[in-house]
């Protein structure tokens, strides 16, 4: 008798649920999974590769629907989840670091570098072939920037990871108030460049200082802060109030992602507004812990989250390649709406939504091919261990899920 697919799923989910250590905080994994879904959908919805025809031939340009339809700005508040990634990253670092700094740092960076090396090698070969095949330099630049530029996140995360012992010492001394120090640095940098007319390069200090704020809050969370609802509620309310004030009265843009043609980007480099917005997100995430904990007690939901976390880097690194693959394949048919057309009306949004299953299908294929790059090489004499148990024993690892690209930002400019 054939076993129904639903029965197989429930059986598989039950095995993963039973193999998960009782002490594991599943809400951390849930936050990471929700964030990666937001990143992927956000990029797919706000990345419009538009075909243009000129004297030099057909080229591809990256356009943002947020520029043509500014009323869609609230969408950026949903898909801008960088603060959650750094919150989880700080939590994971604090839980996993117990000494042996060099070995600890090497393990984390090696785990991060393997899938990145595979992506870089793949696109190095493909880009060489495209160039030799006559693809224009402008189109090649757009494509490579779309795929590789998000990796700026990894540099920032590497710096913060290397700073973990110092950050933990700071939190031990000051508690969650340690985050006020980099927050003050960001405020000072913005005051210099926006209020006092200082040089713009001063803002680049915010690349580390800005994301150190949620990273420190993650460490504080791991050390037992935020047990009740009072402090998370204050973080949420204070972050929302500060962000609204900065947008309404200080001239900061309302969009929390980059928008083509905008005078100021909240992400490049980070501004005080995106940092206060991140504080609000941290507060909201902490307030949602009881809801997420109840949700994660359901075996099927937990199995989905655990599976996504085990391949988070693969999903992140290759999701824009999936979009590009569908876009290029579509050219064989013609100029398709929502895929090759300018994002100039709500109709385009509906058309783009219809393409999401195609993007997801190609990403699934890429996952099958490349997800093994996230796994450590097998030892010569493997010890027989249940794979589900082995996969779930490790503490939540914040290096797995970055959001690294400013959706809609002009690709001709270099980002942090």
pLDDT tens-digit map of 345-371? 999 999 999 999 999 999 999 999 998
Q: What is the rounded average pLDDT of the residues 19-42?
A: 89
Q: Report the range out of 5-14, 208-217, 336-345 with the highest average pLDDT.
A: 208-217
The stretch 69-78 carries a mean pLDDT of: 90
**pLDDT tens string 1-25:** 455 777 888 888 888 888 888 888 8
In angstroms, the CA 273 to CA 364 distance is: 36
Per-residue pLDDT at 29: 93
SS3 at position 219: helix
The pLDDT, as a whole number, for residue 400 is: 44
Q: How confident is the model at residue 95 (pLDDT cuts 50, 70, 90)?
A: very high
Q: 76, 281 in Cβ contact below 8 A?
A: no
Strand, helix or coil at 318? helix
pLDDT in tens, 300-338: 999 999 988 888 889 989 999 999 999 988 888 888 899
pLDDT of residue 207: 95
> Which DSSP string do the residues of 185-213 spell out, in sequence order?
HHHHHHIIIIIS---GGGGGGHHHHHHHH
Q: What is the pLDDT of residues 366-395, one digit of tens each?
A: 999 998 888 766 655 554 544 444 444 444
User: To which H or E segment does residue 319 belong?
Assistant: helix 312-330
Residue 151 clears pLDDT 90, i.e. is over it: no
Q: What percent of the chain has pLDDT over 70?
A: 88
Reported as a single tens digit per residue, the pLDDT across 389-412 is 444 444 444 444 433 344 334 333
pLDDT at 360: 96
HSE (side-chain half, CA atoms, 13 Å) at 195: 12
Residue 85 vs residue 381, higher pLDDT = 85
Q: Is the dihedral of CA 149, 152, 153, 155 positive or negative?
A: positive
């Amino acid at each position: 008798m054939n076993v129904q697919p639903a029965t197989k799923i429930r059986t598989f989910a039950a095995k993963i649920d039973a193999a998960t250590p009782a002490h594991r905080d599943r809400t951390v994994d849930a936050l990471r999974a929700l964030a990666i879904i937001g990143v992927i959908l956000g990029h797919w919805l706000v990345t419009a590769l538009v075909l243009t025809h000129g004297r030099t031939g057909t080229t591809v340009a990256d356009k943002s629907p947020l520029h043509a339809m500014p009323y869609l700005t609230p969408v950026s508040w949903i898909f801008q989840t960088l603060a959650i990634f750094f919150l989880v990253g700080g939590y994971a670092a604090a839980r996993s670091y117990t000494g042996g700094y060099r070995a600890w740092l090497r393990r984390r960076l090696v785990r991060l570098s393997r899938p990145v090396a595979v992506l870089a090698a793949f696109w190095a070969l493909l880009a060489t072939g495209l160039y030799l095949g006559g693809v224009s330099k402008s189109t090649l630049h757009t494509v490579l920037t779309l795929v590789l530029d998000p990796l700026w996140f990894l540099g920032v995360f590497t710096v913060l990871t290397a700073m973990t012992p110092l950050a933990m010492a700071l939190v031990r001394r000051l508690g969650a108030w340690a985050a006020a120090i980099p927050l003050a640095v960001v405020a000072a940098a913005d005051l210099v460049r926006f209020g006092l007319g200082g040089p713009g390069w001063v803002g680049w200090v915010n690349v580390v200082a800005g994301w150190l704020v949620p990273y420190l809050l993650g460490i504080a969370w791991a050390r037992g802060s935020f047990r009740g609802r009072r402090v998370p509620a204050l973080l949420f309310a204070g972050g929302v109030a500060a962000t609204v004030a900065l947008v309404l009265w200080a001239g900061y843009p309302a969009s929390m992602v980059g928008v083509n043609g905008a005078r100021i980007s909240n992400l490049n480099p980070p501004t005080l507004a995106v940092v206060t917005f991140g504080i609000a997100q941290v507060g909201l995430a902490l307030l949602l812990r009881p809801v997420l904990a109840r949700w994660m007690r359901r075996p099927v939901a937990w199995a989905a989250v655990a599976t996504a976390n085990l391949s988070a880097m693969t999903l992140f690194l290759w999701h824009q390649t999936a979009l590009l693959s569908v876009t290029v394949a579509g050219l064989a048919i013609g100029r398709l709406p929502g895929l090759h057309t300018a994002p100039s009306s709500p109709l385009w949004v509906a058309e783009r939504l219809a393409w999401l299953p195609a993007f997801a299908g190609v990403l699934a294929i890429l996952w099958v091919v490349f997800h093994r790059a996230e796994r450590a090489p097998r030892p010569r004499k493997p010890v027989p261990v249940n794979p589900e148990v082995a996969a779930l024993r490790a503490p939540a690892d914040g290096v797995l899920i970055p959001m690294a690209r400013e959706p809609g930002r002009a690709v001709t400019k270099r980002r942090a």
